[in-house]
Amino acid sequence: MKKLILAMLLLSSFPDTMAGAEELTEPEIISEAAVLTDSESGAILYEKNADKKMFPASLTKIATAIYAIENGDLNEMATVSEEAVEVDGTRVYLEKGEEVPLKKLVQGMLINSGNDAAWAIAEHLDGSMDRYSVNLNSYLKEKVHLENTHFVNPHGLHDENHYTTAEDLAKLTNYALKNETFKKIFGTKELKWSGKSWETTIFTHHRMLKGEVPFEGVTGGKTGFVDEAKQTLATSAENESIKLTAIVLKADFKRDIYKDTKSLLNFGFNHFESSDLSSTEVFPADGKNYTTGGKDVAITLPKGTFNENVTPKGKLLIEDQNGKVIQTVQLSEDKKDEVVSSQLKPEEEPKKETTGYYGKIGLTLFLFAVFILLLIKNLKEKARRRRRV
């Protein structure tokens, strides 16, 4: 009875982890589309119109940056054309004929959102905008695995055929953040700039990264705006438990994209944490064993109670306390036991034990009886010695 009371007291001391806990309250988002993901696992933690076709504005430059970093030589000198100098929108004021290292163009484009730098990058890599568009879209589909994105320029100035989704932008940003060069530039707050026409310091336009909109843990970001796309924002942030990527698209005012981003990041930090599936872990399901295929896999777990279920087809479903699927991981069937079994010859088959459960009990009783007999014999011997005395 005392043990039962103690167990009840222990259970009552953990109300937040019980199955009956209240459902997580998702943030109210003003922007037309938004998505929050774990930067490492890619798990989608919140979404609003995540697969809706949207115009990204200057968030396009995330794609241009990682494409240039992975496909170009950052130490090469690019020659700035007249077309690059005359491009509309934000600039770093390049001069016609100026020779600039490719890395510096990527910095000017990501940090200060220079459209002229973006144009110069595209021309340097592929020679023309048409060839650049073809090559970039192939790269985004084949390397980054984006399915709902089509870009026709490197900077994001409006074109009806230039579109993406919030989900694709999050996937793109997560992919790019795995590259240390991109990650460093994406998180740069200011940079001294020495060009042919001016010397200055360029600053990020991202107010949370710069500190104008206070929020602890922001590690990188990119802003965007054109009339058709309205305000857009990409943000990376982290704490001791998880790294997050937030994308918000099409807000009327800057204050709204920052408010939405703060709400998304707070939601992620408060309710989720990162973990790993070990390469040695085995998941039984439907008479089969599944593994991660010999590699560690990043996953996202809800804080508190959660469930891990494996489907008959080997998909691991990570669910929160209310049954909502947080992440799906495709496992691999473990064929090791089957291979070993099939390689055994008939005479090599393991011998079956002849000592069953009841046989083991009999042996135990026999040994116990021998012990008692020896004990009795010893006691009798001691009694005889006393009588002799």
Place of tokens 């998180």: 187
Encode 316-337 in three state secondary structure: EEEEECCCCEEEEEECEECCHH
Residue 272 β-bridge partners: 302
State whether the Cα torsion 198-201-207-212 is positive or negative: negative
Q: Which of 39, 41, 58, 274 is catalytic?
A: 58
HSE at residue 117, side-chain half, CA atoms within 13 A, is 26
Could you tell me if 182 and 66 are in contact, meaning their C-beta atoms sit under 8 angstroms apart?
A: yes
Alpha-carbon gap, residue 247 to 235, rounded angstroms: 7
State how far the Cα of 184 lies from the Cα of 127, in Å rounded to an integer: 27
d(CA 52, CA 55): 10
61 is catalytic: yes
Query: In DSSP terms, which residues pair with 163 in a beta bridge?
Result: 150
Chain center to CA of 245 = 8
Instruction: State the Cα–Cα distance between residues 319 and 58, nearest whole angstrom.
Output: 35
Between the CA of residue 241 and those of 73, 260, 276, what are the distances in Å?
Answer: 35, 21, 12
Active-site annotation holds for 275: no
Catalytic residue among 39, 48, 61, 250: 61
| Residues 29, 196: Cα–Cα separation, whole Å | 44
Task: Determine which one of 31, 39, 81, 113 is catalytic.
Answer: 113
DSSP classification of residue 227: T
Residues annotated as catalytic are 58, 61, 113
